[in-house]
Amino acid sequence: MQAKFDTLINSFIKDEVGIADNFLSHALSAFLKGNLQGLYKNNQLRSAGTGNNTLLLHNKMVRSDKIFWLDPLRENIHETSFFKLMDNFIQYLNATCYTGITGYEFHYTLYEKGSFYKKHIDQFKTNKDRAYSMIMYLNADWQQADGGELCIHHSNSVQNISPVNGKCVFFKSSALEHEVLVTHQPRFSITGWLKIN
């Protein structure tokens, strides 16, 4: 586990974007994807908006994904395993990098075929709680032709990251504009933020 954490942190320090393949095990990824698919089948996902609770806007020309907020009180065995992994990562991140993370929030994300999210920054203008963004992908057998890359805009370059199963992406929420390119297949992930309250 520590090796995965080190890979994520060291690549972030080097390139502003941390990437760790197989951050989620194949088994956990499959269980979480199954949860997400079940929520979708039961019509429990909601159209995602932009902004926070004080100013939430829905514009499908900006983003067209669907989400379901994760809650430890749901007491789902696989989501509990996910939260334990996040707790361990935050403990390690705080101990090694002195980041002062005090909490987090995560949601399931589904991009249906043809969905996207235009260029944006993750940190709200009126709330600076979000310190780091994390995305973990749940897409087995993803192919380049399936699209749906995470496109990160650096100051002098663009980085495209494929949403391959188990991969984790980690970056500072206030620092990098990014977007999700149009996906040609249903695209599953868990997206969230490490917070400083």
Domain housing 10: 2-48+62-195
Contacts of 109 (CB under 8 A, 6+ apart): 48, 65, 66, 67, 188, 189, 190, 191
For the chain, what percent of residues have pLDDT higher than 90?
83
Is residue 22 domain-resident? yes
Q: How many domains does the chain have?
A: 1
Q: What is the pLDDT of residue 103?
A: 95
* pTM beyond 0.85: yes
Is residue 55 domain-resident? no
The residue-averaged pLDDT of 186-197 equals: 95
Contacts of 196 (CB under 8 A, 6+ apart): 99, 100, 101, 102, 128, 129, 131
- Taking 90 as the threshold, does the pLDDT of residue 95 lie above it? yes
The residue-averaged pLDDT of 117-134 equals: 85
**Contact present, 165 and 105 (Cβ < 8 Å):** no
pLDDT in tens, 40-82: 999 999 987 655 555 445 556 678 899 999 998 888 999 999 9
Q: What is the pLDDT of residue 63?
A: 82
The residue-averaged pLDDT of 114-120 equals: 92
pLDDT in tens, 151-177: 999 999 999 999 999 999 999 999 999
Q: What are phi and psi of 114, to 5 degrees?
A: 90, 0
